[in-house]
Amino acid sequence: MFFTEPRVTLLARPTFTEPAHLAVNWLGDSTDGERLAEFAGRLCYMSQRNPANRSTRDYLENIKKQGHGSVLEHANYSLLLEGVSRSLTHELVRHRAGFAYSQLSQRYVDESDAHFVVPPAIIGEDALEEAWREQMENALASYVALVEQLMERYGWVADKVHRRKMAREAARGVLPNSTETKIVVTGNARAWRTMLELRSSEAAELEIRRAAIAVLRLLQREAPAFFADFEIYQAEDRREAARIGYHKV
C-alpha cells in the first residue's frame, strides 16, 4: 500500500477532577485539559473566584500572551500517527522536552509487507511516481530475500525469535526512508505548540509539515484555547503552512 497522507488518531486526553475545596468560578465553554491548565494557573494566585470574570478560553489566551506557558504543561494529548515515513519520525523524535514516543520496531516486526509513504513532492507526477514505486518494490524484494538468507545463515541459533530478530535487524538496512511506520506520541500542550510552530512552517520538510497541519487541526478541535492562535494558510509553494500567534510561550 502507498500512503499519500498521514492518519492521525487521538488516543488520550486529560481528565480533570475538580477538588471541592478549591472550586473555580468557571465561565464559558471548555474541555477538561483547558480547565486543568486554568486550575493550575489560578492556584498560583489563589484566584479561584475569577475576579476578572474571564472565560476559560480568555484566561488561557492571556496566559499565552503573557508567556506563562508552564501551566500548559499539565495537559497531555496522546496521538497515534500512521501512514508516516521513517524519515518523518526521525525528524519528529528530535522534539524532546515534554514528549514521549513509542514506535514500531523494525527489529521485531516483519516488514515483508511494508507499506510506503509517497513523498509529497512526487504525488501527481505519474512518471516520477512510477519510478519511485519501482524503487520501493525492489527494496522490499531485497529485504525479503535478505531475511530468508539470514535465517538460513543463522540456522544454528536455537531460539527462533532471536534468529528472526537477527535477520530482520540486518535486512532492514535496505528499507528506504519512505517505509511507513506507526508511532504513539504523547506531548503536553506547550510541547505540542513548540513542535507545531517549527514543523508546520514553510521552512519544514513537506511530509512533516503536512502531518503537523493534520495534528494542528485535530488539536484545535480538541482544545481551542491551547491552539487557536495558529493560523493555517495557503503558502506560496501552493501547500498549507501555519503560523503561530504567540511565539514560544
Ligand X SMILES: Cc1cc2nc3c(=O)[nH]c(=O)nc-3n(C[C@H](O)[C@H](O)[C@H](O)COP(=O)(O)OP(=O)(O)OC[C@H]3O[C@@H](n4cnc5c(N)ncnc54)[C@H](O)[C@@H]3O)c2cc1C
State the residues that interact with ligand X by CB under 6 A: 94-97, 194, 198-199, 203-204
- In the bound state with ligand X, the residue whose beta carbon lies nearer, of 118 and 198, is 198
The sign one gets for the Cα dihedral 148, 111, 95, 117 is positive
Q: Tell me whether residue 199 is one of the annotated catalytic residues.
A: yes
Q: 90 vs 221, which CB is nearer to ligand X?
A: 90
Report the alpha-carbon distance of residue 60 to residue 193 in Å, rounded: 14
DSSP string, 18-68: --GGG-----S---HHHHHHHHHHHHHHT-TT-TT---HHHHHHHHHHHT-
Which C-beta is closer to ligand X: that of 81 or that of 198? 198
The gap from C-alpha 163 to its chain's centroid, in whole angstroms, comes to: 33
List phi, psi (to 5°) of 188: -85, 165
Q: How far is the CB of 219 from ligand X (least distance, A)?
A: 16
114: number of Cβ within 10 Å: 22
Task: Using the minimum distance from each CB to ligand X, give the nearer residue, 142 or 201.
Answer: 201
> 209 with 241: CB under 8 angstroms?
yes
Q: Which of 199, 209, 217, 221 is catalytic?
A: 199
Active site residues: 199
